[in-house]
Structure 1
């Protein structure tokens, strides 16, 4: 049935409008399918939402940058979606990633975290968040702003890379190597070169969205 025909009054208006509604839904589905996101996203809503609203968006808030570098460290050896699904549990357990509060956490607090099924129960990784909080505060004490420090590795301006396909995306760069080295020098842990590059991608220091991805910086 043509759409114009469907709009003509009939003896069965309910079925007619149902047909129109189904056509509209079908078109919406087609439009959704035409969106070409970065292929690593997959079909899980939580990952799609993360890709569309967060990944690659420039972030300059020091505490949010601190949260992300800590969470990237939790990912080591795992997939990011594993951490993403547990992110809210981490925020609750680690005081919304307030470095001052985290720095006061004791071994007993980590013991409690090890019993928390909402976290990745790897003691060294959990302890790393506390160590990183102390390193963060030491930077502040020395007059270093965390956001300014992080963004200095890309000259305070996002790098938009040419990414025709995933094969062109590196696992690490000279900038991520330098960032890793500088963070370790300041006392941070679980901040390897690959971890730092994933952090740089997610926080928008570099834009590694595929060229045809709608989230790509134009």
Structure 2
């Protein structure tokens, strides 16, 4: 199989082949990817993927309703959990974002409806020859980032949101010679 150049190891190939660029509409998956993309800030995606299973176990399988109710004791427990990234702001953002996620669901009936309405519910297929052509952010990721921040989300800057749009398949940024393009 011909893949995008960035899928150079087993974890990245698995992610590339089965998640990245595939339209996601499951609420738990949309929350999960938002959290993982936020965790990536300042790190490589490879590091985050290697820790994904540990996060899945520690965060009740990314069930945002449970996470939204985490208290200070649970936060402290998470900060002591092996394999998790020990960044206080990122850890607090996981809980804050679960609460904000639920508020968006209440307003729009689903987070899926909220996020996909930005593109009239249709993926956007870009035509890049290599990952070096892909922008770090664009007008849409800036717009969504600004709105999410206004709604109380953390770690949702324009670059993180651009990556999120790729991860959930709103953007198909597979390179044109990739079999998944």
Show the counterpart of 2:117: 152
- Structure 1 residue runs of 5 or longer lacking an equivalent are 1-34
CA contact (8 A) 2:123 2:172 kept: yes
Q: Deviations over 1:97-153 (max 9, x none)?
A: 112100111111111111112211111101101000111122233344200111112
For 1:73 and 1:167, how far apart are their aligned partners in 2?
21
Moved over 6 A (4+): none
2:5 alignment partner, one of 39, 42, 55: 39
TM-score, normalised by the number of residues in structure 2: 0.95
In structure 2, the gaps of 5 or more residues are none
The partner residue of 1:191 within 141, 152, 156 is: 156
- How far apart in 2 are the matches of 1:144 and 1:178? 21
Larger radius of gyration: 1
Q: 1:143 to 1:47 in 2, by over 3 A?
A: closer
- What is the match of residue 128 of structure 2? 163
Give the structure 1 partner of residue 49 of structure 2: 84
RMSD over aligned Cα, in angstroms? Answer: 1.2
> How many corresponding residue pairs?
181
1:169 to 1:143, Cα distance in 2 relative to 1, 3 A: closer
Deviation, structure 1 residue 156: 0.8
Say if 2:38 is the partner of 1:96: no
1:128 pairs with one of 93, 98, 107: 93
Q: d(CA) in 1 for partners of 2:166 and 2:92? A: 25
Match of residue 59 from structure 1? 24
Instruction: Give yes or no for the alignment of 1:205 onto 2:170.
Output: yes
Q: Distance in 2 between matches of 1:125 and 1:211?
A: 34
| Greater relative contact order (CA < 8 Å, ≥ 6 in sequence) | 2
Task: Give the structure-1-normalised TM-score.
Answer: 0.80
C-alpha distance in 2, partners of 1:164/1:137? 38
Equivalent in the alignment of 2:73? 108
Is the 8 Å Cα contact of residues 63 and 98 (structure 1) preserved in structure 2? yes
Kept in 2: contact 1:110–1:123 (CA 8 A): no
